[in-house]
Amino acid sequence: MLLLAFLLPAYAEIYRWVDSDGNVVYSDEPHADAETVDLPASTVYTPVEETDSLKLSPDEENTTELNSPEIPSYQLRIITPADDESIWVNNGNVSVTMIVEPELDTERGDQILVELDGTQVGPAQSETSFQFNNLSRGTHTLSAMVVDSTGTVLTNSSSVTFHLHRTSILNKKQANPAP
């Protein structure tokens, strides 16, 4: 009996009407101008029963844990250029050198992604050196990350800011200034 008392409100009628201000009002109590609202049937979820064929035996569970390779705990640092370094190079070519400890596990598919000014530059690579060609003058922010074969980031380097300078024709000094 007590259970039926809890179920009755779930099957109560819903009424809809418009009040004097033009607002649509819903209630479980009838009103003079109310109309009954028909609600669709409730969606009910029934979980799939777990069968014995889907369960792993204790031996299989242990084997699965042993076969899954351990994810290395990488440390990634950008060595060159140094943070806040000024680089004077007219062709805009900048070399980047990084250190990864421990060594990249390329069998797992771990690789390095390089970003310049927040944009990925080139594909992921297993090399710890990178060359930028013909960079524009100005301040740039460089960072790198180690990713696995699915693209999941395993570690990030600290960002490095460097300033690329190029000689300008506007700053050309006279060869023999007049006395």
Q: Model confidence over 60-80: pLDDT tens digits? A: 555 544 555 688 899 999 999
Of 153, 67, 141, nearest to 110 by C-alpha is 153
Average pLDDT, integer, range 67-95 = 89
Residue 125 has pLDDT above 90, yes or no: yes
At 14, the pLDDT band (50, 70, 90 cuts) reads: confident
Given pLDDT bands bounded at 50, 70 and 90, which one contains residue 4?
A: very low
Query: Does the domain spanning 75-169 belong to CATH 2.60.40.10?
Result: yes
Domain ranges in the chain are: 2-37, 75-169
**Which region among 34-38, 123-127, 130-134 has the lowest average model confidence (pLDDT)?**
34-38
pTM (whole model) above 0.75: no
* Closest C-alpha among 131, 59, 122 to residue 92: 131
